[in-house]
Chains A and B, each alone.
Chain A
Amino acid sequence: QKEVEQNSGPLSVPEGAIASLNCTYSDRGSQSFFWYRQYSGKSPELIMSIYSNGDKEDGRFTAQLNKASQYVSLLIRDSQPSDSATYLCAVNAGGTSYGKLTFGQGTILTVHP
């Protein structure tokens, strides 16, 4: 069983719509959660981090965390063509895995004009 799973995608949304990206994780001891954006041929770029249950907003991005359901999501409001990229969910398990991130496979998002 994969430790971090993302909705398989690819996900296609029209410009101006809300894009919803989802991620589940298996380790209940996980402490911190991250979303990275990766453009084709480039390195992952950290866009959101979240550590406690609830919502965290940063501009057009909102991260949501529900530790009881072992679920983390990323909402992108007013999606733009420049948001087209692969989005990676990453989880820091804590405990003996302290400091190590486990990444999901990524979801490809395409925003079409």
Chain B
Amino acid sequence: NAGVTQTPKFQVLKTGQSMTLQCAQDMNHNSMYWYRQDPGMGLRLIYYSASEGTTDKGEVPNGYNVSRLNKREFSLRLESAAPSQTSVYFCASSVTGYYNEQFFGPGTRLTVL
């Protein structure tokens, strides 16, 4: 099993460009999450999907959109990238429920110039 996979690993954008970060999991998990990690700010939740067909905002959703394409895939879209969105983005998944152990993908390092 590959676990949680993310593409691309690295990306450089110019201000105003758009892009989609892809995430897939093969653990048959119901819930999926997008986080960003910035120095001194820790991991912050952008959006999450408790189950297929549902999405909800996290702590820092502005400037992002998400799509839960199916049970396996959860994408994050930046419609008009800004330098403030320079960060490392992690996708995670979990079995929905009390225990909620989340497993992370390898991350995408995004730089917006």
Contacts and interface: CB of A to CB of B under 8 A. Distances in A.
Interface of A: 31-32, 34, 36, 42-46, 49, 51, 88, 90, 92, 99-101, 103-106
B45 A105 contact: no
A45 B102 contact: no
Secondary structure of the B side of the interface? loop
Interface residues of B, number: 24
B98 A31 contact: yes
A99 B96 contact: yes
Given A43-B106, A100-B48, 11 more contacts: A31-B98, A42-B107, A43-B105, A43-B107, A44-B43, A88-B43, A92-B100, A99-B31, A100-B45, A103-B43, A106-B42
Interface of B: 31, 33, 40-45, 48, 50, 58, 90, 94, 96, 98-107
